[in-house]
Chain A
């Protein structure tokens, strides 16, 4: 099962490497990882997507929680939540027909063309990972993909539930 873990940790050098190290040391998977300071600059919020059965996820959660720099861990996939990932795709766009088609496709997915040159487009898309995957699939049959940058998943629980210190 794919899980999204949110982690609140001290915004200090070394804290991130402890988490990443823990995953590799104990043989856990990291599918995506994002991290940035929160509204309180002394804290960072990290989101990691991983796969494992309930037992493995329970161990990961407990092990991460045990790290001295970590304040809180929550598996947001446990309840209703919102997840988003940001992607930028650079595609070949060197004919009018192709440019029209790419614009149309991007509109269907609610993407934005954020950079234009005579031969390329950069399309920005925000959504769930599945939506991003679907967009890439759709693009592939229309145009030549030059490069892709994805941010990794981040997310929040819906409603009152929150991860705060």
Chain B
């Protein structure tokens, strides 16, 4: 027998939860009181609940485990919404436990009441309102099960205050297994469809492998690499799929889409067969769907049937996990020994080679001002490409995606679907909490970093020494780039006047701040930053304000209609 509050903590412990990111308040004080005694769970007190959700999210992205958030009712709960939506768009497993006013007061506009189940409904995989204390273990266990299985996603568990009353005792029954008649995600792809897809692929003359975030969630990078190598396929990753296949592999064409490489977008556009694994043909990839890859037969593998034929129709749809489907395909290849026609592949690769030789990522360095691309390249050098890089949103995000090749999955942590500024720092913190021995970087801009900068205080309290690499262009760079290209250079409200002195700010929070503006000092400054293993270092790097991210797809065009540099003034 125990109280509801104790049950919450006991259930989390039994589920193996090691870290909670949270913030207390009236509705959850009983749970916090029960947490006071819990020795197996470390609680990180954040400075804003949005950041708690992003930390749990970064934690989940780096490890594949479910991230956990605990917040109070009303404002505590609503503050997590952006974080929940961010996780939802990128299919990240997370459980958010929110306090709620007592059952008897629900609907009365009680103090700090907010219909959290209603508020979060469009951005959760599922949600629960706990009705009786006895249900706590089962409901929370279900929440973790739903968050982690099928296409992962965030789940909200709203817990009214009376349910966790410490004065009432109830029997604690932890479920042996989770059975839900209405929830049984398909994992294994249909055999006939798998066979058919493989036949189409083997008959291709210009195939391409297109990897999305689902191929990271599937935890099968070895299989993907083995499969791609065996068939000598060109491979491209979405922003969410970076690292699913080694970025420095000779078959890797880099990222595709809006800021994709020439070779990736050209290869897609000219292909005759696309094998899409855990990708969703997002508008930032396809550009104008009407002009999308006109000659391609599309083989689409995804664990979520709604992702298939949503924007682009699949010719051979396969609902199932990337891992299962690929291993089935490899089994078939093993037994038949089939392969693609070598002559066709040789000519396809030589076509691709021509696109590669355009060297679309080359840029001009200067000895006066630091180029943002150069910072990312230096960062890659200094960290041997082994760091976990969490990003905010803007030009710096695209520079990082393009100039820091990820050879392993789960190293690149960014808000791809929602594009949430303010994600980077808390996400990097979540990574560092999950993997204390790793190098965890937050790459950011002077705009984004200010959206959750208060977490520098949390870093101090818990000793979370992330490295903040801020590409300070004194502007909302990505907005400015669009204004340059689309709005005739009218920079409406995209200039960051009155930036704080970030070095002093870092110091005020008890950390180290380093400012660099001279290109010749960049490498040394970065070496210094990464040599201070136990310190949070805030690198305020002043970079060229006028630099743009290229290539860039031209709106309403095909995949490969791209600008490769600033258009010449007419």
**CB interface residues, B 271-327, toward A, < 8 Å:** 304-306, 309-310, 313
Residues of A within 8 A of B309 (CB): 55, 58-59
CB of A75 within 8 A of chain B?
no
A65 B181 Cβ-Cβ under 8 A: no
B117 contacts A10, C-beta separation under 8 Å? no
- Alpha-carbon separation in the docked complex, A127 to B127 (Å): 38
User: What 1/0 mask marks residues of chain B from 167 to 186 whose CB sits below 8 Å from any chain A CB?
Assistant: 00000000000001111000
How close is B81's CB to chain A, nearest CB, in angstroms?
14
Given contacts A17-B121, A59-B310, A165-B181, whether A66 and B305 have CB atoms under 8 Å apart is yes
How far apart are the CA atoms of A21 and B306 in the complex, in Å? 17
A59-B306, A62-B305, A62-B306 given; A68·B122 CB < 8 A: no
B48 in the interface (beta carbon within 8 A) = no
Within 8 Å of chain B (Cβ to Cβ): is A83?
no
Contact among B129, B180, B181, B306 for A66, CB-based, below 8 A? B306
Considering only CB atoms, which chain A residue lies closest to B313 in the complex?
A55
Taking CB atoms and an 8 Å cut-off, the chain A residues in 11-69 that contact chain B are: 13-14, 17-18, 21, 25, 55, 58-59, 62-63, 65-66, 68-69
Contacts A14-B117, A21-B122, A62-B305: A68 and B310 contacting too (C-beta < 8 A)?
no
Contacts A66-B304, A66-B306; A25 near B122 (Cβ below 8 A): yes
Q: Which A residue's beta carbon lies closest to that of B310? A: A59
Main secondary structure of the interface of A (DSSP, over half): helix
List CB contacts (< 8 Å) of B121-140 with chain A.
Answer: 121-122, 125-127, 129
Taking a contact as CB atoms closer than 8 A, the residue among A9, A17, A55, A63 that contacts B182 in the complex is A9
Asked if A102 lies at the interface with its beta carbon under 8 angstroms from chain B, I say: no
A70 an interface residue at 8 Å Cβ cutoff? yes
Q: Bound state CA distance, A103 and B313, in angstroms?
A: 54
The reply to whether B121 and A68 contact each other, CB–CB distance below 8 Å, is no
Residue pair B183, A68 in contact (C-beta under 8 Å): yes
Residue contact B310 to A14, C-beta cutoff 8 Å: no
Q: Is B180 touching A68 in the complex (CB atoms < 8 A)?
A: yes
Residue of B nearest to A8 (CB): B182
B393 CB–A CB distance under 8 Å: no
The answer to whether B146 has its CB under 8 Å from any CB of chain A is yes
Answer whether residue A71 sits at the interface, using C-beta atoms and an 8 A cutoff: yes
Cβ-defined contact, A21 with B121, below 8 A: yes
Q: Which residues of B contact A13 (CB under 8 A)?
A: 129
Interface string of B89-122 (1 = CB under 8 A from A): 0000000000000000000000000000110011
Q: List 10 A-B contacts (CB under 8 A).
A: A14-B117, A21-B121, A55-B309, A62-B305, A66-B304, A66-B305, A66-B306, A68-B126, A68-B182, A71-B182
Instruction: Add 6 more A-B contacts to A25-B122, A55-B309, A68-B180 (CB < 8 A).
Output: A14-B117, A14-B127, A59-B310, A62-B305, A69-B182, A70-B182
Binding site for B on A (CB under 8 A): 9-10, 13-14, 17-18, 21, 25, 55, 58-59, 62-63, 65-66, 68-71, 165
A-B pairs with lowest CB-CB distance, top 10: A68-B126, A62-B306, A71-B182, A62-B305, A25-B122, A68-B183, A21-B121, A63-B306, A66-B306, A10-B182
